[in-house]
Amino acid sequence: MNKIKNILPWATIVLYLAILLPLIGAKKKDIKCQNINVKILDETNNFFIEEGDVLSMLNDKGESIIGTEINSVNTNKLEEFILLHPSVKKANVHRTLQGDIEIKIIQRNPILRIINKNRESFYVDEEGKIMPLSRKYTAHVLIASGNIDLNYTKLLAQQKEQIGDKSVDNSNTLLLDLYKVASYIYHDEFWKAQMEQVYVNRNNFELVPRVGTHIIEMGTIENYKNKFRNLKALYEQGFPSAGWNSYNKINLKYNNQVICTKR
């Protein structure tokens, strides 16, 4: 008798769900999409893409989402389409019970702006991916210029073929070298505050600091971390006594040596 009493509540719940769930499913099929809500979730303080940009993308694609059955909206395809935008790092699209489509986006975070020898300009983000400049926002990041033969259109086409791949493109040596130096500077608060520009002179890199009138001849990026450590020692120990404007050039090309040329 006790067993029957214990089973009866559970049987009632199962019967209730068996009746209710088909009704909910049938009702959900009739729900039409009411709104498309776009949220930018990253904390980068960048403004490369906004809600209006995403809605314009969908309109240009001919996606008639508003007014269609919510269950017929293919959220996976929408995510793939939004990820084609070079400023978007991640996209998540899902349906709500109220009949809305919610789109959550994380933007790419640039760490370097490249100006090639044809004066074409574009960004490189934290993952080594390229992204275009924006008409409404400029990121204040390290600038690379000089003898740079990198074509944005070609790089972007290659990148679109590798969508979803988070690894840096190792096929382009110059792009990889610039990314390594920029990433090191970006993630070091000391150098991030000090360095303003990288100038490419053939295979050699020259660094232009924010403070002082000297040029830093880095050479190749071989042992670049050690070169930065040696340079930091000079900045912290040599410059306070000699003065920031005492030198014309600082040479880091040679292992474990910092050669300073006075004015």
Domain membership of residue 2 (yes or no) is no
Cα–Cα distance for residue pair 26/147, rounded to 1 Å: 64
Q: What does pTM read for this prediction?
A: 0.79
* SS3 category, 36: strand
pLDDT value for 9: 56
Domain membership of residue 19 (yes or no) is no
- Domain with 88, as residue range(s), is 35-107
Tokens encoding 157: 């086409």
Within this chain, do residues 59 and 178 fall inside the same structural domain, yes or no? no
Sign of CA dihedral 192, 160, 177, 262: negative
Within this chain, do residues 155 and 95 fall inside the same structural domain, yes or no? no
Within this chain, do residues 248 and 225 fall inside the same structural domain, yes or no? yes
Within this chain, do residues 116 and 97 fall inside the same structural domain, yes or no? no
Within this chain, do residues 145 and 234 fall inside the same structural domain, yes or no? yes
Within this chain, do residues 131 and 49 fall inside the same structural domain, yes or no? no
* SS3 category, 171: coil
Domain boundary at 76, 107, 138, which?
107
In b/e form, how buried is each residue of 233-259, taking b as 16+ CB within 10 angstroms?
A: ebbeebbeeeeeeebeebebeeeeebe
Within this chain, do residues 81 and 197 fall inside the same structural domain, yes or no? no
Domain membership of residue 28 (yes or no) is no
- Give burial (CB, 10 Å; 0-12/13-18/19+) of 175: buried
Q: What's the Cα-to-Cα distance from 192 to each of 31, 112, 178, 188, 200, rounded to whole Å?
A: 51, 11, 15, 6, 19
| CATH number of the domain to which 41 belongs | 3.10.20.310
Within this chain, do residues 130 and 83 fall inside the same structural domain, yes or no? no
Within this chain, do residues 122 and 244 fall inside the same structural domain, yes or no? yes
Phi, psi angle pair for 167, to nearest 5°: -75, 155
- Give burial (CB, 10 Å; 0-12/13-18/19+) of 63: middle
Domain membership of residue 6 (yes or no) is no
pLDDT tens series, the chain, 263 aa: 555 555 655 555 555 455 544 444 445 567 889 999 999 998 888 889 999 999 999 888 877 788 889 988 999 999 999 998 888 999 999 999 889 999 999 999 999 999 999 999 999 999 999 999 988 889 999 999 999 999 999 998 888 777 555 556 666 899 999 999 999 999 999 999 999 999 999 879 999 999 878 899 999 999 999 999 999 988 888 776 666 677 889 999 987 788 888 87
Contact 177, 184 (CB under 8 A): no
Within this chain, do residues 256 and 176 fall inside the same structural domain, yes or no? yes
Within this chain, do residues 54 and 159 fall inside the same structural domain, yes or no? no
pLDDT value for 21: 47
Domain membership of residue 5 (yes or no) is no
